[in-house]
Amino acid sequence: MYYICEQIYMMVYPWVHTKRYNDYSSYIKNKFGERVQKVSVNAGFTCPNRDGSKGIGGCAFCNNSTFNPSYCDPEMSITEQINQGISFFRTKYQSQKYLAYFQAYTNTYAKLNVLIKRYQEALSHPLVCGIVIGTRPDCIEEELLDVLSDWQKDYYIAIELGAESTRDKTLLEIHRGHTWEESVFATNLIHRAGIPVGMHLILGLPNENRELMLEHAKHVSNLPLSYLKLHQLQIVKGSKFAELYSAEPNYFNLFSPDDFVELVVDFLERLSPHIIMERFISQAPHDLLIAPKWGLKNFEFVHMVEQRMEERDTWQGRLFTAK
């Protein structure tokens, strides 16, 4: 669809605005009618890949400290963490609402009564209008989904799944402890409960070439995902990959910013236009990051992607074909 603006033809895409991809910021503004900011909390949970249930030491790429902003301290209450986070963002935005983002470790990995207590504390904050729960696809229970689905009447509730790859061989090599089939099952289960479901993928994992990474776009496009987060592989201190990188740096094929931009644009072309893109890259803390050191802010990388899409005159879903 096209419309005329100052005698210039501009394309309006299936997401009904002129950005060349279906972006999360526009989705949130349309959903709430104002800017809404995620504020991270660390609820003190652990992970089945750390406590011995699935493994010990976590996934090969993981140092969970890279996920925690400085204001997240599990010694503080959830309310105190939210207040700290709000004070951090209020220097920029005086008036806005917040989503409490349960980010660190596996935030559905506890007894139901414990989970409900943690979530309800966040939802009781007067400036919090919903929660986003980060978890693993092998830690989703229908009993919890029933509770969260009921809460949807009054709050925004979303669940993010760390899938990381659609390739089982990769998931085994990075000691992830679950399969792609479990990611598919969990996504469909959450969707049937009427809860928006997001997913995380890491591009650049060992032994995944460009063709395999672009295949991820096709696989996730077959799922009822609400939104997607991409992350470039980063080598961070305290992870198993950090040890391997020190011994065998050539085992990894780390991207330059320009190369990753090109990959992201290729990925977007193959991705369903109905999936909202929340992010293209992640940013490990400077003191924990070993490689690659791009020195770019998130908004700078987003601008590079948008500029490259314009140069190529392409958009999300241009090469997408429904299954």
23-46 per-position pLDDT tens digit:
999 999 999 998 899 999 999 999
d(CA 251, CA 173): 13
137-188 per-position pLDDT tens digit: 999 999 999 999 999 999 999 999 999 999 999 999 999 999 999 999 999 9
Q: What sign has the CA pseudo-torsion 186, 229, 44, 120?
A: negative
Q: CA torsion 30→33→39→40, rounded to 10°?
A: -30
Residues contacting 202, CB < 8 A, separation 6+? 61, 164, 165, 230, 231, 232, 233
d(CA 108, CA 157): 13
Tell whether the model's pLDDT for residue 2 goes beyond 60: no
Q: Where are any strands of DSSP class E within 6-119?
A: 8-11, 36-41, 97-102
Q: Determine if the pTM surpasses 0.75.
A: yes
d(CA 214, CA 218): 7
What does the domain layout of the chain look like in residue ranges? 22-311
d(CA 90, CA 28): 18
Q: Report the pLDDT averaged over residues 283-294.
A: 94
Tell whether the model's pLDDT for residue 4 goes beyond 50: no
What's the CATH code, domain 22-311?
A: 3.20.20.70
Position 89 scores a pLDDT of: 85
Tell whether the model's pLDDT for residue 65 goes beyond 70: no
Q: Report the pLDDT averaged over residues 54-63.
A: 88
The more confidently predicted of residues 54 and 262 is 262
Tell whether the model's pLDDT for residue 5 goes beyond 60: no
d(CA 278, CA 230): 8
Residue with tokens 């009427």: 194
206-232 per-position pLDDT tens digit: 999 999 999 999 999 999 999 999 999
Tell whether the model's pLDDT for residue 7 goes beyond 50: no
CB atoms within 10 A of CB 174: 21
Res. 75 pLDDT band, cuts 50 70 90 = confident
